[in-house]
Amino acid sequence: MHVSFLLAAAAAITTAAAFASLPEHPIRGGYGYTRSPDRSVSLTSPRPHDVLDVTKLPKNFDWRNVNGTRYVTISRNQHIPHYCGSCWSFAATSALADRILIAKERHPHNKSSVDVHREVVLSPQVLLNCDKKDNGCHGGDQLEAYRYMKENGVPEEGCQRYEATGHDTGNTCTDRDVCENCLPSKGCFPQKTYDKYYVSEYGTTLGEQQMMAEIYARGPIACSVAVTDEFLKYSGGIFDDKTNATDVDHAISIVGWGEENNVPFWVLRNSWGSFWGEDGWMRLVRGVNNVGIEGECAFGVPKDDGWPTSTTIEEDEARQEEEDVINDAEEDQSMKSTLAGCRQKLHFAGGERVTSQLPHETMDLKDLPKTWDWRDVNGKNYVTWDKNQHIPKYCGSCWAQGTTSALSDRISIMRNASWPEIALSPQVLINCHAGGTCNGGNPGLVYEYAHRHGIPDQTCQAYQATNLRCDQFAICETCWPSKESFTPGVCESVKKFTKYYVSEYGSVSGADYMKAEIYKRGPIGCGVHATKKFEAYTGGIYSEHVMFPFINHEISVAGWGHDEETDTEYWIGRNSWGTYWGENGWFRIQMHHNNLGIEQECDWGVPLPDGSKPKDFVISIDYQGNKEAGGATVQDFLHMVALDEVSGQCHLFTDVFDRLVQLILAFIAVFVLYIKRKLELPIRPMKVWVLDVSKQSLGALYIHCISIILSIETVASTSTVYDECGIYFVNYVIDTTWGGFIMIVFLKGINKVAARFGVVSIARCGDYGDPPRLQIWWTQFFVYLVALTLMKVHNVLIIWVFFTDIAYFSTNLFSAFEDYRHLELSIVMLVVPGCCNAAQFWIIDSYLKIESNQLQFLGSRVDDSEKLCIGQNAVACFSQPPLFQGEESVKSVILL
Q: Indicate if 438 belongs to the active site.
A: no
Residue type, 322: E
Q: How far apart are CA 350 and CA 637, in angstroms?
A: 7
Q: Is 527 exposed, middle or buried (0-12, 13-18, 19+ CB in 10 A)?
A: buried
Per DSSP, the residues of 243-306 read: S------EEEEEEEEEEETTEEEEEEE-SB-TTSTBTTEEEEE-SS-GGGTTS-EEEEEEGGGG
Tell me the pLDDT band of 802, cut-offs 50, 70 and 90.
confident
Give the model's pLDDT for residue 624: 32
Give the mean pLDDT of 511-530.
Answer: 98
Predicted TM-score (pTM) of the model is: 0.73
Average model confidence (pLDDT) across the chain: 82
Convert the pLDDT of each residue in 579-594 to its tens digit.
999 999 999 999 999 9
Give the model's pLDDT for residue 777: 80
Give the mean pLDDT of 94-100.
Answer: 99
Query: Which of 175-179, 412-416, 684-688, 876-880 comes out lowest in average pLDDT?
Result: 876-880
Convert the pLDDT of each residue in 202-242 to its tens digit.
999 999 999 999 999 999 999 999 999 999 999 999 999 99
Residue 525 reports pLDDT greater than 50: yes
Strand pairing class (586-590; 541-542): parallel
Query: Which of 64-73, 366-375, 732-741 comes out lowest in average pLDDT?
Result: 732-741
Q: Indicate if 297 belongs to the active site.
A: no
Give the model's pLDDT for residue 734: 84
Q: What percent of the chain has pLDDT over 90?
A: 59
Q: Which tops the pLDDT comparison, 186 or 166?
A: 166
Give the model's pLDDT for residue 649: 58
Q: Which tops the pLDDT comparison, 780 or 377?
A: 377
> Which of 272-286, 669-683, 818-832, 861-875 has the highest mean predicted lDDT (pLDDT)?
272-286
Residue 423 reports pLDDT greater than 70: yes
Residue type, 550: F
The catalytically annotated residue of 398, 460, 479, 602 is 398
Give the model's pLDDT for residue 658: 67
Give the model's pLDDT for residue 339: 44
Give the model's pLDDT for residue 687: 77
Give the mean pLDDT of 860-887.
Answer: 35
Query: Which of 96-100, 396-400, 862-866 comes out lowest in average pLDDT?
Result: 862-866
Q: Is 844 exposed, middle or buried (0-12, 13-18, 19+ CB in 10 A)?
A: middle
The structural domains of the chain, ordered by start, are: 54-309 (3.90.70.10), 366-607 (3.90.70.10), 651-895 (no CATH)
Q: How far apart are CA 573 and CA 563, in angstroms?
A: 16
Q: Is residue 723 helix, strand or coil?
A: coil
Residue 413 reports pLDDT greater than 50: yes
Tell me the pLDDT band of 716, cut-offs 50, 70 and 90.
low
Convert the pLDDT of each residue in 876-895 to its tens digit.
333 333 333 333 333 333 33
Tell me the pLDDT band of 760, cut-offs 50, 70 and 90.
low
Query: Nearest to residue 788, comparing CAs of 862, 699, 863?
Result: 699
Q: How far apart are CA 586 and CA 598, in angstroms?
A: 14
Give the model's pLDDT for residue 875: 34
Query: Which of 1-10, 328-337, 708-717 comes out lowest in average pLDDT?
Result: 1-10
Give the mean pLDDT of 73-83.
Answer: 97
Convert the pLDDT of each residue in 116-163 to its tens digit.
999 999 999 999 999 999 999 999 999 999 999 999 999 999 999 999
Tell me the pLDDT band of 73, cut-offs 50, 70 and 90.
very high
Taking a C-beta distance cutoff of 8 angstroms, is the pair 85, 139 a contact?
A: yes
Q: Which tops the pLDDT comparison, 163 or 755?
A: 163
Residue 322 reports pLDDT greater than 80: no
Query: Which of 43-47, 822-826, 857-861 comes out lowest in average pLDDT?
Result: 857-861
Question: For 111-220, where are the E strands, in sequence order?
Answer: 180-183, 187-190, 193-196, 199-205
Q: Which tops the pLDDT comparison, 291 or 317?
A: 291
Kind plus residue range of the DSSP H or E element containing 589? strand 586-590
For residue 663, the number of C-alpha atoms closer than 13 Å in the C-beta half-sphere is 6
What are the C-alpha distances in Å from 492 to residues 76, 79, 459, 488?
18, 11, 14, 12
Q: Which tops the pLDDT comparison, 340 or 301?
A: 301
The catalytically annotated residue of 553, 639, 651, 704 is 553
Taking a C-beta distance cutoff of 8 angstroms, is the pair 623, 634 a contact?
A: no
Give the mean pLDDT of 611-616.
Answer: 84
Q: How far apart are CA 569 and CA 560, in angstroms?
A: 7
Taking a C-beta distance cutoff of 8 angstroms, is the pair 539, 589 a contact?
A: no
Tell me the pLDDT band of 326, cut-offs 50, 70 and 90.
very low
Tell me the pLDDT band of 182, cut-offs 50, 70 and 90.
very high
The catalytically annotated residue of 290, 552, 575, 751 is 575
Give the model's pLDDT for residue 315: 72
Convert the pLDDT of each residue in 540-593 to its tens digit.
999 999 999 999 999 999 999 999 999 999 999 999 999 999 999 999 999 999
Convert the pLDDT of each residue in 824-840 to its tens digit.
777 877 777 766 655 54
Q: Which tops the pLDDT comparison, 798 or 751?
A: 798
